[in-house]
Chain A
Amino acid sequence: MTTAPVDSGLAGAPRRGVLGRIVDRAGGGLLQVSLIVIALFWLIPTLGLLVVSIRGETYNNSSGWWTAFTRPAELTLENYQNLLATGFTSSFWNTVLITVPATVLVIGIAAMAAYAFAWIEFPGRDLLFLVVIALLIVPIQIALIPIARLYGTLNIAGSILGVVLFHVAFGLPFAVFLLRNFFVGIPRELLEAARMDGAGEWKIFATVVFPLAAPAVASLGIFQFLWVWNDLLVALVFADTENQPMTKALQSQMRQFGTNVDVLAPGAFLSLIIPLVLFFAFQRYFVQGMMAGSVK
């Protein structure tokens, strides 16, 4: 062994130029500041929405929402009462009834399909996967009319089932693509070890692959949930008034003249808060490295 010439006082410290260190320190602060600015930009409208939703209609029409901070007497829960009077509760439940199955079904079906695409050899596998990828680029608009006619013959037009099926069909290609690529990254030896331990395909999927895919499943779940929760187009086309989700119900509250903001604001805020809660509940899965320590 030769000894390397010692040229730095601090052993192990990466050597940097003075300029580099200045940029580093200043950049760190700059980064913090810009992150805070971006966060505020995102938060202020949301906060505004919240304030508007709990402020009396006449006040909303006469002055900006920020003035409410100095006049707390303007705040009231009346808007929420008005909203409930419009039958908003049923549309809230419709949204839940549409979103939850559409998310669960997409994750369940896509995970199984992705497992097969990633780990089971069958003839035509790669070609089939290519077809799934190709479906990613099909815009939903071109399918609206044919599927509406199909639903007519199947007698599910206007029902929640129809909306759910549509969302599932158009959610699957991306879900399969995402999960398959995640599954492929799981070390082959893990599956082989499970096989040696006596697991069949189903056990391997359920006890090894799917739990390991928790970060990918969580991300996918959030995305799919948000898409369906916030969807208006599909609901407009396929949902009857009695089956309409919140988005469509809110849209129907829009008036040609005047804003009707005292109903729209609490509705919009309600539809926004649920996905937020969900996101914070699952966020640790995005950060966590689930694969650590499996191999090597």
Chain B
Amino acid sequence: MASIVLSNVDKIYAGGVKAVNGLNLEIKDGEFMVLVGPSGCGKSTALRMIAGLEDISGGEIAIGEKVVNHLPPKDRDIAMVFQNYALYPHMTVAENLAFGLKLRKMPKPEIQKRVNQAAKMLGLEQYLKRKPAALSGGQRQRVAMGRAIVREPQAFLMDEPLSNLDAKLRVSMRASLNQMHERLGVTTVYVTHDQVEAMTLGDRVCVLRDGILQQVDTPQNLFDNPVNLFVAGFMGSPSMNFVTAELVQVDGGAAAAFAGFRLPVPASTFTEKPGLDQYLGRKVILGIRPSDFEDAAAANGHTGAGWARLPVRAEVTEELGSEINVLFLIDAPPVEHKDTVAAKDADEDGEPIPLAGDKSLWTARVNARSHVRPGQQTELVVDTHNLHFFDQGSGLAIGHPANVGR
């Protein structure tokens, strides 16, 4: 096992396209690091550079304190799982698993032992004699994992390994991946475009966009404290609601005013977000997570201080069983910042653009006990402690530690 350190890594393709731009990333020993971002953000390129399948245009990559910039893949002691599995079709499962060990001239009994161990761990024992063509998608996926495991490498690299599986299998494979990492404790770099996968698997998640690192943090911190509009919009499903609001001074405190509403901003928010007070009297982009809403009627406990009321008309309700997504219109134009647009595009299961005219469509996630129905007037409450504020020009989160002084 080893740590992986990327310092100022660049990748420039012929034609001048900068796929990765000055990437700095430290993946600790035994850590599960997820690289996430929309397609074309450079996450796969970064992974392939760690693997040695792509040359590095600039910077330095070290695996276990050894600079590997010019080492071929076979000398980096890492294993990779590919999106389409890339099993050798002319070899049986056992031969697929043993291939890497044979090339390393490992003694036969040792190969046999490791193959059997991995097969047992992955439940592949009865398939060892089969060829990949005779396996289901999930089984092939496990063989691909097994091929990495038997090598006992310093690190696993995984390039969207679950994206070819159907939804149900993906969830169970996600769980077994988690288990496997717990058990083996091998440093893992995992690339995905699926933010749910990123949140559930990663010890830390690294959000990339256009080859530039946006934020690296634990999933919860990314969710709670996104560094900019892009991360805020990309992480979380349904995605964060945005509106251009004015921070106004009212008697007894401050409030965010938009579309005829005034959400009081608690005094604690100003201490948590240094520099926010300078935006008083100015316009900011306000972000509210769908999960920070609640139906006033169903939320008895949430009517005290810090919860502001928001009377709206529910346009659409999506009942998910455990909760209900309430879609409603806010009488303010949608925020068209380059970052929110980029995050929206990337959101694959994003809602279709509705015929909302010049209004923004917001989503609130309320308890399933709520009796809200489409077309109904309803009252929502908002947890004002969890409001997010972004600078209109730069799109950076106001008061985020990483942005102070930027």
**Given A293-B132, A293-B133, A294-B132 in contact, is the A198-B86 Cβ separation under 8 Å?**
no
Question: Across the two chains, which residue of chain A brings its CB closest to B133?
Answer: A293
Q: Residue-by-residue, is A262-296 near B (CB-CB < 8 Å gives 1, otherwise 0)?
A: 00000000000000000000000000001111111
Residues of chain A lying within 8 A (CB to CB) of residue B89: 212, 290-294
Residues of chain B lying within 8 A (CB to CB) of residue A197: 74, 79, 99-100, 103, 147, 151
Distance, CA A192 to CA B51, complexed state (A) = 10
Question: Across the two chains, which residue of chain B brings its CB closest to A214?
Answer: B90
B74 and A196 contact, CB distance less than 8 A? yes
* Interface status of A105 (Cβ within 8 A of chain B): no
Return the contact of B51 from the options A196, A214, A293, A295 (Cβ within 8 A).
Answer: A196
B79 and A196 contact, CB distance less than 8 A? yes
Question: Across the two chains, which residue of chain B brings its CB closest to A295?
Answer: B84
Q: Residue-by-residue, is B98-114 near A (CB-CB < 8 Å gives 1, otherwise 0)?
A: 01100110000000000
Shortest C-beta distance, A176 to chain B (Å), equals 23
Shortest C-beta distance, A85 to chain B (Å), equals 49
* Interface status of A233 (Cβ within 8 A of chain B): no
Distance, CA A212 to CA B89, complexed state (A) = 8
Residues of chain A lying within 8 A (CB to CB) of residue B85: 294-296
Shortest C-beta distance, B364 to chain A (Å), equals 25
Question: Across the two chains, which residue of chain B brings its CB closest to A193?
Answer: B86
Q: How many A-B residue pairs have CB under 8 A?
A: 86
Residues of chain A lying within 8 A (CB to CB) of residue B83: 189
Question: Across the two chains, which residue of chain B brings its CB closest to A211?
Answer: B90
Interface range on chain A (Cβ under 8 Å from partner): 20 to 34
* Interface status of A208 (Cβ within 8 A of chain B): yes
Question: Across the two chains, which residue of chain B brings its CB closest to A195?
Answer: B73
Q: Residue-by-residue, is B177-197 near A (CB-CB < 8 Å gives 1, otherwise 0)?
A: 000000000000000000000
Question: Across the two chains, which residue of chain A brings its CB closest to B159?
Answer: A189
* Interface status of B53 (Cβ within 8 A of chain A): yes
* Interface status of B140 (Cβ within 8 A of chain A): yes
Interface range on chain B (Cβ under 8 Å from partner): 20 to 34
Distance, CA A211 to CA B84, complexed state (A) = 20
**Given A195-B74, A196-B78, A212-B89 in contact, is the A187-B84 Cβ separation under 8 Å?**
yes
Residues of chain B lying within 8 A (CB to CB) of residue A195: 52-53, 72-74
Residues of chain A lying within 8 A (CB to CB) of residue B151: 197
Of residues A199, A212, A293, which shows the largest number of chain B Cβ atoms within 10 Å of its Cβ?
A293
* Interface status of A48 (Cβ within 8 A of chain B): no
**Given A192-B53, A293-B132 in contact, is the A198-B87 Cβ separation under 8 Å?**
no
Return the contact of A208 from the options B73, B80, B88 (Cβ within 8 A).
Answer: B88
Distance, CA A212 to CA B91, complexed state (A) = 10
* Interface status of A108 (Cβ within 8 A of chain B): no
Distance, CA A192 to CA B137, complexed state (A) = 20
Distance, CA A182 to CA B239, complexed state (A) = 45
* Interface status of B283 (Cβ within 8 A of chain A): no
Residues of chain A lying within 8 A (CB to CB) of residue B79: 196-197
* Interface status of B341 (Cβ within 8 A of chain A): no
Shortest C-beta distance, A125 to chain B (Å), equals 14
* Interface status of B135 (Cβ within 8 A of chain A): yes
Of residues B80, B85, B86, B140, which shows the largest number of chain A Cβ atoms within 10 Å of its Cβ?
B86
Q: Residue-by-residue, is B57-74 near A (CB-CB < 8 Å gives 1, otherwise 0)?
A: 000000000000000111
Residues of chain B lying within 8 A (CB to CB) of residue A192: 51, 53, 73, 80, 82, 86
* Interface status of A21 (Cβ within 8 A of chain B): no
* Interface status of B262 (Cβ within 8 A of chain A): no
* Interface status of A152 (Cβ within 8 A of chain B): no
Distance, CA A193 to CA B103, complexed state (A) = 13
B86 and A293 contact, CB distance less than 8 A? no
B82 and A203 contact, CB distance less than 8 A? no
Distance, CA A195 to CA B104, complexed state (A) = 12
Distance, CA A281 to CA B52, complexed state (A) = 43
* Interface status of A190 (Cβ within 8 A of chain B): yes
* Interface status of A27 (Cβ within 8 A of chain B): no
* Interface status of B170 (Cβ within 8 A of chain A): no
B87 and A200 contact, CB distance less than 8 A? no
Question: Across the two chains, which residue of chain B brings its CB closest to A207?
Answer: B99
Distance, CA A296 to CA B83, complexed state (A) = 8
Return the contact of B74 from the options A198, A208, A294 (Cβ within 8 A).
Answer: A198
A199 and B103 contact, CB distance less than 8 A? yes
Of residues A187, A189, A198, A207, which shows the largest number of chain B Cβ atoms within 10 Å of its Cβ?
A198
* Interface status of B131 (Cβ within 8 A of chain A): yes
Residues of chain B lying within 8 A (CB to CB) of residue A189: 82-84, 86
* Interface status of B134 (Cβ within 8 A of chain A): yes
* Interface status of B164 (Cβ within 8 A of chain A): yes
A187 and B103 contact, CB distance less than 8 A? no
Q: Residue-by-residue, is A82-124 near B (CB-CB < 8 Å gives 1, otherwise 0)?
A: 0000000000000000000000000000000000000000000
Of residues A190, A214, A291, which shows the largest number of chain B Cβ atoms within 10 Å of its Cβ?
A190
Shortest C-beta distance, A88 to chain B (Å), equals 41
Residues of chain B lying within 8 A (CB to CB) of residue A290: 89-90
A196 and B80 contact, CB distance less than 8 A? yes
Distance, CA A203 to CA B103, complexed state (A) = 9
Distance, CA A189 to CA B53, complexed state (A) = 10
Q: Residue-by-residue, is B289-313 near A (CB-CB < 8 Å gives 1, otherwise 0)?
A: 0000000000000000000000000
Interface residues of B, Cβ cutoff 8 Å to A: 51-53, 72-74, 78-80, 82-90, 99-100, 103-104, 131-135, 137, 140, 147, 151, 164
Can you list 17 A-B contacts with CB-CB less than 8 angstroms, sorted by A residue number? A190-B86, A190-B88, A192-B53, A192-B73, A192-B86, A195-B74, A196-B53, A196-B80, A197-B99, A197-B103, A198-B73, A203-B103, A212-B89, A214-B90, A293-B133, A293-B135, A294-B88
Interface residues of A, Cβ cutoff 8 Å to B: 187, 189-190, 192-200, 203, 207-208, 211-212, 214, 290-296
